[in-house]
Homo-oligomer: A and B are copies of this chain.
Amino acid sequence: MNELSTEDRIKQAAKALFQEKGYSGTRTRDIAERSGINLALLNYYFRSKQKLFELVMLETIQQFFGTLPQYLNNPETSLDEKIQLLSRRYIDFLKTEPDLPLFILSEIRHNASGLIEKMNLNEVVFKSVLAKQYAEAMGRTEVDTKEIYMLIINPLSLIIFPFVARPMVMALTGLDQNGFDQMMEQRKTLIPIWNRNMLNSDLNTTSSNTTI
């Protein structure tokens, strides 16, 4: 069945524990125990806790951001379809890995600063097909960079934040794990709709009168 090499078993156990307890909260002994191997082997393969962590972290970041460019750069899909796809795929993914965002965000701050810079997401976003399509939709060739931030930060906020704040959201709403998942399922279709409306409302700087 699970014919993983020793090296991979250690990496897998490390990934789980680092995510659960963070870098400093994780003991190498626990990683060894969960891998079903001895502590000495961990150092044999990875030299140190720090090195092991960096490896795991790099893979995790790539797992998280690796798919982003392909969503943003598909010339076959419209601007709106891109947001739909982004919502669906990221929510599906995060339902299987709900602790990933909080892990990445807090460990980047504490133990892996610099990793994000190296990926230069900046270019990835601004040179994307998404950015071009936005400019076209607005009827301009050049678009204020600030508008592009919103275009990407707002959907990501609405997708990721509930996972980051899951314990808080569950306490706030009284939902159990199942109810939480259902809520996120609904958001797959709601977020793109909201996003369209947010973009439209930015067009009419006249902040518009509404029913509520």
Contact = CB atoms under 8 A, between A and B. Distances in A.
A3 to B, nearest CB: 33
Copies of the polypeptide in the assembly: 2
Interface in A125-175: 125, 137, 145-146, 149-150, 152-154, 156-158, 160-162, 164-165, 167-169, 171-175
Given A122-B171, A171-B117, A110 B161 contact: no
B165 A160 contact: yes
Chain A interface mostly? helix
Contacts of A171: 116-117, 119-122
Interface of A: 21-25, 79-80, 99, 102, 105-106, 108-110, 113, 116-117, 119-122, 125, 137, 145-146, 149-150, 152-154, 156-158, 160-162, 164-165, 167-169, 171-175, 183, 186, 189-190, 193-194, 196-203, 207-208, 210-212
